[in-house]
Amino acid sequence: MKTINKLLFGALAVIGLSISSCTKWLDVNTDPENPTAETSTYDGLLGNVEFYTNSAHQFADWRTGQSMGDWTGCYGRGNYANASYWLPSSGWVTTSYQWWFVGAYVNIPQLIEKAEAAEAWHYAAAARVIKAYGFMLMTDLYGEMPYEEAASQDPSITAPKYANGKTIYLGCLNDIDEALKLFDKDQNTAAAALAVGDWWMNGNVAMWKKFANFLKARWILKLSKKANGKYTDGKYDEDAILTALNNSFASSTENVVIHHTDNNSTTHDHLGWDEPVDYSPLYSVCGMNWGYLPTKMLYDNLTNFAGLGIEDPRADHILTWREASIPKEWAEDENLDAPDYSFTIDPDSGLKWQIAKNGGVYKDADGNKKQNYKSGWWRGLGVDLSEPIFSQKGPLRSYVDKNGYWYCDSDNPVRMADTVYVEMTSSSKGYAGNKDLLYRRSAKGPAKAYSGSFYTRVSSPTYLGTFAEACFIKAEVLFKKGDKVGAFDAYKAGIEASINQMDEQLKAWVADDASLKDCPSFRPMEQDVIDNYLTNGIGTAADLTIARILTQKRLHLMYSIEVWNDMRRYDFAEDKFLNWHIAADHFVSTDALKAIPEGKFLRRWMQCSHELNYNSENLKAIAEDVKEYGENINLTRDQWNNADDVWTVNVWWDSDK
């Protein structure tokens, strides 16, 4: 990731975009060299707003995902790897704030005003959905935020007042309801068709309505700690969730997906990164970078879900693979026996190999000798965070020796064995100028490739809303209502939809480049493997639990703030999230325990420095509201949001108040 420039924006800074590209959805002004609020058009603004909103969300999704335990990083990887053992950093908190307020929201009020003046109701509706989507992200992350006075046209408002979490939350739901009404109105025939400016859904009003209902169901679910009642009163409303789901996606063909491209276009962002707008934001922050690794929790949930002994067909595509030479003596070894995992130290390289199912030779169920992958692809294991591996200066990166074998640069036998972990780095043809999507690493010997991971490649889709997630929401609600059969049907449908959604993209990748099929990470799934998993690997209605529903939901979502939202809703209960525990390094890190003391949990981000520096009085004043629901708020300080343990203060919906 390129280093973002330090931008000295206030909470409501307005920027002008100087654009020299022909890409219409980011070309937002009549005069691209001298943009003004007066010359911008509602159809030109919408695509720009969509781009920055999605990026703000994806950057937050990645950073929160690291802290929920599915991914970690190599020793020395920095703030985001440290997140996996709950050592929070102010470095987490600025980017999503900037990309939402400075890139997106600054344009939304004028977009709505101009669209309504032109009776372009569908633009006004889409803008309201996006406004809700962005502000819900803000209250999920920070709890409170300038809201009613944000992006005000009143020049006297230079320091906008804060709104509490309830006000923002209910405001977002109200915007969704208003948007649904506007989508049902006929636009003025002279107004621009929604398809002219809409990048997300190409002007499909029916899909916008389904997406709005999906968001409504997702967000009302977050009120599960509240008393039962009407969602418009801030209460948990199961009937409203189910009604919204009925008006949302009916199948995976209706998923809201942004299909990114591997194209180093001339249209770049204008918030300091200067990277092309075509590719996946998760590639920008994660996929192109070194050192990120799956954890043992993720590995176990994918390879042996709920202890049922059947590997998930998504495992090969989420977990990471690496190309390697196979020593001749191993290839001739008749004693390798799958599915047991055994390890051998190569005397020349110090490499600790995982052998058996994931590479080399093994015996099948009939005792026949099999070559697993002729190309020498080996799938990595997951980092076990139940051990204080960071305080032991691990896990280390791997390098390639002169024979093409991987090794770790250490004399410590434990760290030498870190070669079993495979980084998720990938590459690209358009942006990086590589021959394919594989990243190749070389030190002393021949270059060897990494597969990367499904969700973080240059052309990995962004899934804004999916039928699979809707199924998991329905499964949870029905389970809590006592309908285990209905819940299981929804749960199974969600898993199947998630698998098929992934397989669709795998087929697209190998159709574009047939050579990728040699890598197991890209190889489309076999139907009999899918069928076996759905029959034998996910349980039955009789043994369905909330833990299975929530764990399958997080396997589907992977990089999504909704994983953190679910964990907060259930107070990080270990019996609700299979194989999850607070990482052991948290309890040996003085700084981590200062930020999140033992017995407390990661429940919000602290405000970014722009708010602390330029809007501190209003931030201080909102403490009177926060104390009503923020259990760990420290009011003895001059600035409550700058306390070491502010990360543990509940946001409004994460409380029963």
Per-residue pLDDT at 23? 37
The answer to whether 285 touches 484, Cβ cutoff 8 Å, is no
pLDDT digits (tens, 9 = 90+) for 274-299: 777 888 999 999 999 999 999 999 99
* 3-state secondary structure string across 192-219: CCHHHHCCCCCCCHHHHHHHHHHHHHHH
The tally of CA atoms less than 13 A away on the side-chain side of residue 338 is: 18
557 to each of 174, 373, 561, 563, 653, how far by Cα in Å?
26, 29, 9, 7, 21
Q: Is 611 exposed, middle or buried (0-12, 13-18, 19+ CB in 10 A)?
A: buried
Per-residue pLDDT at 51? 94
Q: Could you say which architecture CATH assigns to the domain 24-267?
A: Alpha Horseshoe (1.25)
pLDDT digits (tens, 9 = 90+) for 632-647: 999 999 999 999 999 9
User: 587 phi and psi, to 5 degrees?
Assistant: -85, -5
Look up residue 76 and give its amino acid: G
Per-residue pLDDT at 37? 63
pLDDT digits (tens, 9 = 90+) for 585-619: 999 999 999 999 999 999 999 999 999 999 999 99
Where do the structural domains in the chain lie, given as residue ranges?
Answer: 24-267, 320-452, 590-654
Better pLDDT: 29 or 576: 576
Residue 370 has pLDDT above 60, yes or no: no
The answer to whether 617 touches 597, Cβ cutoff 8 Å, is no
Q: Is 616 exposed, middle or buried (0-12, 13-18, 19+ CB in 10 A)?
A: middle
Q: Is 486 exposed, middle or buried (0-12, 13-18, 19+ CB in 10 A)?
A: middle
What is the pLDDT confidence band of residue 448, given thresholds at 50, 70 and 90?
Answer: confident
Average confidence (pLDDT) over 487-502: 98
Per-residue pLDDT at 445? 56
Per-residue pLDDT at 456? 97
Query: Could you give the CA distance from residue 32 to residue 419 in angstroms, rounded to a whole number?
Result: 50
Structure tokens at 203: 């002007």
What is the pLDDT confidence band of residue 36, given thresholds at 50, 70 and 90?
Answer: low
The answer to whether 261 touches 430, Cβ cutoff 8 Å, is yes
User: 191 phi and psi, to 5 degrees?
Assistant: -75, 155
Query: Could you give the CA distance from residue 581 to residue 593 in angstroms, rounded to a whole number?
Result: 15
Per-residue pLDDT at 339? 33
Structure tokens at 457: 């490649």
What is the pLDDT confidence band of residue 539, given thresholds at 50, 70 and 90?
Answer: very high
∠ CA 420-423-424, rounded to 5° = 135
